[in-house]
């Protein structure tokens, strides 16, 4: 009898939760020594790490595996890193952290414009790269949870925003796609319409409090978002207040 009771208790034990899969990182760099050094460092910190020396090899890996973050050099043989970044962002692919010796301000701005989640200049401290990768993963996870909680849409000034698909639909029927960064900025505006938001507040919402993003970069991203909104309606929905920030001039409604 005691044995039977013991067996019954065992059959009712709750199932053990499956261990969470480590994040999968793909390092794309044609410098074999640097690529191996970065890959080994990330692998030692618990990540699954793959390596590629150009865009073609990267595509083969992405076609077979679910990759969370691509650490991408810009100066690659064949297809350059900026072109790769553009199509990964357009295809809503993995997060992209650009790690490049092209560290000038203009290069950073272009990379962020094309949809990169972060940009680090070479040479860099491996601990900084680790922190940036973890921050990008955290923001992606938070963004996915936000989108899952809101599968509906927003409507403002006659425009319909589909959050999960990252697209705007104009009253005319025109569809405009947003990058991840542009969507984050727009969501910050929608959360506080007709309130002046400082650059710091917008940077924190779009890239996180620990992001190394500067005023010029956020101004460029807002300029691109403004143009996409103007393609949908013939008026400027984002007003600039010099020295103070930006204001979203529309009343959004949830649908």
Query: What's the token pair of residue 150?
Result: 């809101």
Q: Which fold has domain 151-254?
A: Arc Repressor Mutant, subunit A (1.10.10)
Say what the pLDDT of residue 104 is. Answer: 66
Say what the pLDDT of residue 151 is. Answer: 52
Instruction: Compute how many other C-beta atoms are within 10 angstroms of the C-beta atom of residue 140.
Output: 17
CATH 3.40.50.2300 segments of the chain: 24-147
Closest listed residue to residue 182, CA positions, set 214, 205, 216: 205
What does the pLDDT look like over 144-171, one tens digit per residue?
Answer: 545 444 456 899 999 999 988 888 999 9
Instruction: Compute how many other C-beta atoms are within 10 angstroms of the C-beta atom of residue 29.
Output: 26
Residues of the chain with pLDDT under 50: 1-18, 145, 147-150, 209-212
Say what the pLDDT of residue 149 is. Answer: 46
Closest listed residue to residue 83, CA positions, set 51, 116, 53, 117: 116
User: Could you give phi then psi for residue 119, rounded to 5 degrees?
Assistant: -145, 125
Say what the pLDDT of residue 51 is. Answer: 95
CATH architecture for segment(s) 24-147: 3-Layer(aba) Sandwich (3.40)
CATH 1.10.10.10 segments of the chain: 151-254
Residues of the chain with pLDDT > 70, as a percent, come to 82
pTM: 0.57
């Amino acid at each position: 009898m005691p044995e039977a009771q013991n067996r019954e208790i065992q059959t009712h034990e709750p199932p053990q939760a499956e261990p969470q899969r480590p994040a999968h990182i793909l390092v794309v760099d044609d410098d074999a020594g640097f690529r191996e050094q970065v890959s080994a460092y990330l692998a030692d910190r618990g990540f699954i790490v793959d390596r590629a020396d150009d865009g073609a090899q990267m595509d083969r890996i992405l076609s077979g595996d679910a990759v969370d973050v691509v650490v991408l050099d810009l100066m690659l043989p064949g297809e350059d890193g900026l072109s790769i970044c553009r199509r990964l962002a357009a295809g809503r692919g993995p997060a992209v952290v650009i790690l490049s010796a092209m560290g000038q301000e203009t290069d950073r701005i272009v990379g962020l414009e094309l949809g990169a989640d972060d940009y680090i200049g070479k040479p860099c401290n491996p601990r900084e790269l680790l922190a940036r990768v973890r921050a990008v993963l955290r923001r992606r996870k938070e963004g996915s949870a936000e989108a899952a909680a809101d599968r509906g849409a927003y409507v403002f000034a006659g425009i319909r925003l589909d959050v999960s698909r990252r697209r705007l639909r104009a009253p005319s029927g025109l569809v405009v796609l947003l990058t991840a960064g542009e969507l984050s900025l727009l969501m910050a505006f929608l959360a506080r319409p007709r309130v002046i938001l400082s650059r710091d507040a917008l940077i924190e919402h779009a890239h996180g409090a620990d992001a190394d993003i500067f005023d010029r970069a956020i101004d460029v991203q807002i300029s691109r978002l403004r143009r996409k909104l103007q393609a949908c309606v013939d008026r400027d929905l984002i007003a600039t207040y010099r020295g103070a920030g930006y204001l979203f001039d529309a009343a959004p409604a949830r649908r």
